[in-house]
Structure 1
């Protein structure tokens, strides 16, 4: 059994924020970058977001392009990637859009929250307990057993931090938007943490690309700066 390749995807402002503190979601990407993100979704076997992002943004997380869904079907894949979320509390509203669009869904949680989630979600999703706490390694093992080879992680900051501090991310897509948020209380791409190698580890830069007024940076966290990338 092999764990999936983990790709973290995030759009952020020049000053490192992924949103502001207003009730409306801050749109950082442009039309062409949103299309790029959908292409990455279509190439993934599963998409993961955290419970906080679900509550705040209420996303559907779909592959909207009929052509891309048809291409997945031609490859023997379901039209939509598996949708995955992670929660510690088990407080997930069953009316959120996440549950009612796309294909299959899986929720990972501590064992203590499984009964609560199964009662509230019913047949909307499969609920999987990961032990006393949410163990990201065990989660990846379970996804690997489900045949997931490529996992796209779309946030939020707490989830990205967990994958990076535990050395579980294989690739990062950072879309840098040409704006400043300037609010110290606004969420960031990552939170404070103990990152492998600390400031002595410089990641390999795999690609730099302009997407209209957004700049896409692709980093490979497990590879050192200067290493050859494909």
Structure 2
């Protein structure tokens, strides 16, 4: 089954947290890293988040730079990457910024039909899996839509699910110069965790940005 090249991109504190124990967004990146993220998004065919990120942060996932939109248009691409939300039970609020033309909501067969009826006017619905979204199937659907490079912007549960399924090729993480703490605060990868066969990484680069460091790893098979 063919799938896109998958990059997880995130920012975390020096102690590995991506938000606070209250699940509220914390600004970790500085201007340089935020510029890098905008460029990475502009160079992707699709951007994916989990429903938890939508509920917590309400991201738009759109390209704000006219230069980036022009770059994509000059390359024969749509001005915006596809926006994909992994949401097994269709919990995405109808007013979410991510919805609209160019958005795909990936749900399971367990999603309430009345929710899907409301959401169909605001996005494309992709039904993948019985109880939870079948991620390999979803990535295959995206590949069939022409997505060759997929940027994943969280959150911790989606990151876990993709890594656990062996669907991630690269991880880029900006480590900011701050401590967030909290045993209940989400980390880069949550989920049940591995007890054996821990996924191995190969360091691609480590570069200072702002007051932190950008680490890029290749996920080894």
TM-score (normalised: structure 2): 0.93
Offset of 1:115 from its aligned partner? 2.5
Contact 2:23 2:186 in 1 (8 A): no
Contact 1:166 1:196 in 2 (8 A): no
* Residue 150 of structure 2 corresponds to residue 151 of structure 1: yes
Counterpart for residue 226 of structure 1:
none
Deviations 1:87-145 (A, max 9, x none): 12211111111114xx5011111112163343121321111111213111001110111
Contact 2:23 2:185 in 1 (8 A): no
The 5-angstrom pairing of residues 84-103 of structure 1 reads: 84-100=84-100, 103=101
CA RMSD of aligned residues (A): 1.7
- Comparing 118-127 with 39-48, greater Cα deviation is found at 118-127
Offset of 1:146 from its aligned partner? 0.4
What runs of 5+ residues in structure 2 fail to find an aligned partner?
none
Deviations 1:175-206 (A, max 9, x none): 100111111111111114238832xx541111
Counterpart for residue 136 of structure 2:
137
Deviations 1:24-55 (A, max 9, x none): 52101011111100100000000000001001
Counterpart for residue 18 of structure 2:
18
| DSSP 3-state at the match of 2:20 | coil
Distance 2:14 2:170 in 1: 20
- Comparing 18-27 with 84-93, greater Cα deviation is found at 18-27
Larger proportion of helix: 1
Counterpart for residue 214 of structure 2:
216
**Any runs of at least 4 consecutive aligned residues in structure 1 with deviations exceeding 6 A, and if so which?**
none
| DSSP 3-state at the match of 1:71 | helix
Counterpart for residue 37 of structure 1:
37
What runs of 5+ residues in structure 1 fail to find an aligned partner?
224-230
Distance 1:51 1:184 in 2: 22
Counterpart for residue 82 of structure 1:
82
Offset of 1:166 from its aligned partner? 1.1
Counterpart for residue 162 of structure 2:
163
The 5-angstrom pairing of residues 47-196 of structure 1 reads: 47-100=47-100, 103-113=101-111, 115-132=113-130, 133-191=132-190, 192-194=192-194
Distance 2:23 2:133 in 1: 28
Aligned length, in residue pairs: 219
TM-score (normalised: structure 1): 0.90
Distance 1:209 1:189 in 2: 19
